[in-house]
Amino acid sequence: MRRATIFLIVALLAVVGACGDDDDGGSSSVPPSPGDVEQDLPTAAAPGTYQVAELSETYVDDSRPTETPDGQGSGPSRTLVTTIHYPQGDGPFPLIVLAHGLTGNPDKFTELTTGWASAGYVVAVPLFPLTSNQVPMQVIADYNNQPGDMSFVIDEVLARSEGDEGPLAGLVAADHVGVAGLSLGGATVYGIGFNSCCRDDRVDAALVMAGMLLDFEGEFEWPPVPLMVIAGNADNSGRDPYSMASPPKYLWTIERALHSAPFQDDDDPADELVVTVTVDFWNGFLYEDDSAIDRLLTDAMVPGTATLEHEG
């Protein structure tokens, strides 16, 4: 009887011990939530690795209005028709949200966005309500609202990835998010990445193409988010943000006057080089591939064509 009692006590202690954490940091019987699990990415890839599919989604943010000076086009919400290019492969893949410039739209970036998607990125390009070429009159001051638009698109894309249905289900790595922008869209990126007004802590890397630094309601704080600024040598608008930014940072100068041609679908001699160098940047900081940074330092230096400054 005494042996049986001892055996029963030992068995009960073993069961109790299995139900709790051990002193060495053993795991609990309660599984972690999906948001606490680090997602394994595929290996960083070169452009052209994946076949690319396209999706159009309409996201409506009911928490913020659309407001125009004359009231025409105003409304209680903000509608963001968003074009998404994504790789056809086993994810999850990093997410890049791209901001178009004044009088722009997602269809102007298909070479760049499909290039990124073919290297293993989900790329979402929203049509902004008041600065695209799809509205009768652009309201430039609405750039103040566009960082919020980009954050909302991040919310919506991640929500669809967390779902069980649709082409984006399980496709996006929530912990690997980049933002990019051209011209006025570049100002938007400075807002979402570096200003206290609208900084989104989910942003892991930022790319500004021929962008400008404009005022927001907050202050620029320049947290150490990896930043690449691309400009022509006749455009000094990228010099000040680069000098103020914290490392790691890159200023890539294409040696001629330019604005949108190398980034949009216009035929430009730098088209292929822009895809190559920007994928190096994304691979380095969204896939955390150190060898991609080494390639970036080489690929971006083309005598007579482009130069690179960097720190960190």
pLDDT tens, residue by residue, 258-278: 789 999 999 999 999 999 999
199-220 pLDDT tens trace: 999 999 999 999 999 999 999 9
121-135 pLDDT tens trace: 999 999 999 999 999
CA atoms 118, 122, 128, 129: torsion sign: positive
Please determine, for residue 26, whether its predicted confidence score (pLDDT) is greater than 70.
Answer: no
Q: Each residue of 210-249: b (16+ CB within 10 Å) or e?
A: bbbbbebeeebebeebbbbbbbbeebebbeebbeebeebb
What is the pLDDT at residue 165?
A: 93
202, 228 contact by CB (below 8 A): no
What are the structural domains, with CATH classification, of the chain? 45-311 (3.40.50.1820)
